[in-house]
Amino acid sequence: MKKHLAVLCGVYFPSPSPTGLCTKRYLSLLRDSYDIDVICISSADLPAEAEKDGIRVHALLGRRMQTERRGSSLNRAAAHAAGVLQMRTRVLGNLAWFRDQALARLKDLHRECPFDAVFSVCSPFAAHCAAKAFKQENPNVRWCAYTVDPYAADGRIRPLRYSMKRLAAYERSVCACADVLLLSEEVFAARADLRGSNPDCRRLPYLLPEVSDTALQNNEFASGHINCVYAGRFYPKLRDPEPMLAAFHALSDPHIRLHLYSVGCEDSVKKYAALDSRLVLHEPVSHAKIGEIYRSADFLVNVENSLPEFLPSKLFEYIAACRPIISFGSGQSKELLAKHPAALLVSNAEDAQKSLQIFLNANCGKEISTAEIESSYRRHGRESIRSILEHALSEDGDAALP
């Protein structure tokens, strides 16, 4: 008989955020062992109940968020302003509603069919807070907390009365209450304080997506060009596109195209697109469609985050696409890309143009096999991650893994 698992996470249904997609992949490894209920934030403008891939989904939506998505322009602006105010005045910001609604739904489902374990995923931190409150009332239910994006992080809008030190202490106090604390490898390395907050703290690597069959290459782009693709969100301080755009603009080769499926930093993007017709702007597309675009590209382009505890999960999408990768940044992804058969880390602006042109010339049309990727990233494979998750969620697995 299967055990019953509750999952608390952020935007998961119907269109998952990057963290929601990460959670979805982990749950695909647990469906054979658990009946799963996911309590999440709806990405649509209404709450929803659904069953997807054998998993029951309860997608919640707070009144302010619902107004911001569905109301008139005036109502949306007022709701957004209220959300910003909440971020400045409340410890859980504008997501305190999710803690309360998720806890209430968790209790209702537990009364109908008791849970054996709860798996909470941060961000949002409100998911951990709801799981903690539930655990206090139900001490026999095992709680596994997973932090992929830390709550106390530089650049995050925080309540006016909370210093970063105080916010980090609050985060540690909640994580300390979990039976097992899982941290992404980046958080594990960068946040020693969080790592030491729980006596049973373990690393959980990102799960490598299903590796693409290179024989299934599509033809999204015109032939005769070297087609490079960036897909994702830019942030002015966290993920600045300027060095990447400047480097591609400086290249003299007329055959190079940089296709941007991006959101954010529109001023920088439009400035360079106006200067250089080789920078091609596209509307963002669905996750299903972007897989086809990755397979059509000659190169996939990454921009590293400025904070070491945030590694874009998108980089694993790139790795699984079996395409050469170019990454701009200070070296956050150096260890990960060192295992890749064809990857370039551009960290020095002065040498960017030369190293980029050499790499493009040497690797255009390079074939990377599925076997090469799966062999190099075995630690991120399905069986490795399944073992970590199942041991963390099972009481008899307490001492099984370091």
The model's pLDDT over 231-259, given as tens digits with 9 standing for 90+, comes to: 988 988 788 999 899 999 999 899 999 99
For residue 243, which phi and psi values (nearest 5 degrees)? -60, -40
Residue 262 has pLDDT above 50, yes or no: yes
Q: Vertex 278, ends 276 and 281: CA angle to 5°?
A: 90
Question: Which range among 27-31, 147-151, 266-270, 393-397 shows the weakest confidence by mean pLDDT?
Answer: 393-397
CA–CA distances in Å: residue 105 to residues 16, 51, 111, 137, 358: 20, 16, 10, 14, 56
261: domain CATH number is: 3.40.50.2000
Q: Looking at the domain assignment, is residue 263 inside a domain?
A: yes
pLDDT-based confidence at 85, cuts 50/70/90?
low
What's the domain range around 129?
3-207+381-397
Question: Does residue 101 lie within any of the structural domains?
Answer: yes
Token digits of residue 183: 């941290």
Identify the pLDDT of residue 184: 92
Judge whether 157 lies within some domain: yes
Residue 402 covered by a domain: no
Q: What is the mean pLDDT of the chain?
A: 88
For the cut 50, the answer to whether the pLDDT of residue 280 exceeds it is yes
pLDDT of residue 349: 65
260 part of a folded domain: yes
pLDDT above 90 (res 275): yes
Residues 231 and 371 in one domain: yes
Q: Which of 90-94, 287-291, 344-348 has the lowest mean pLDDT?
A: 90-94
Sequence-ordered list of residues with C-beta below 8 angstroms from that of 17, at least 6 positions apart, any chain: 10, 11, 43
Stretch 179-208: mean pLDDT, rounded?
93
ω before 402 within 30° of 0 (cis)? no
241 and 102 in a common domain: no
- pLDDT value, residue 216: 52
- Count of domains for the chain: 2
16-20, 25-29, 287-291, 334-338: the lowest-pLDDT one: 287-291
Residues 336, 366 share a domain = yes
DSSP 198: S
Phi, psi of 370 (to 5 degrees): -55, -40
> Are residues 361 and 282 part of one domain?
yes
Residue 401, pLDDT > 50, answer no
Strands 34-42 and 142-147: unpaired
Q: What angle do CA 299, 262, 234 make, to 5 degrees?
A: 100
Examine residue 225 and state whether it is found in any structural domain, yes or no. Answer: yes
Residue carrying the six token digits 């790795």: 319
Q: What percent of the chain has pLDDT over 70?
A: 91
pTM value is 0.87
| 166 and 279 housed in the same domain | no
Same domain, 85 and 144: yes
Same domain, 304 and 328: yes
Tens digits of residue pLDDT in 201-214: 999 999 999 887 65
* Residue 308: partners with Cβ closer than 8 Å, 6 or more residues away: 186, 189, 190, 332
Q: What is the pLDDT of residue 348?
A: 66
Look at residue 214 in the predicted model and tell me its pLDDT.
57
For residue 136, the tally of other CB atoms under 10 A from its CB is: 10
Instruction: Say whether both 79 and 188 belong to one domain.
Output: yes
136 and 158 fall within a common domain: yes
Q: Indicate the range of 41-45, 64-68, 288-292 predicted with least confidence.
A: 64-68
Q: Based on the domain organization, do 218 and 367 belong to the same domain?
A: yes
Is residue 259 included in any domain, yes or no? yes
Task: Note whether 282 and 385 are same-domain residues.
Answer: no
Do residues 60 and 200 share a domain? yes
| Per-residue pLDDT reduced to its tens digit, 107-137 | 999 999 999 999 999 989 999 999 999 999 9
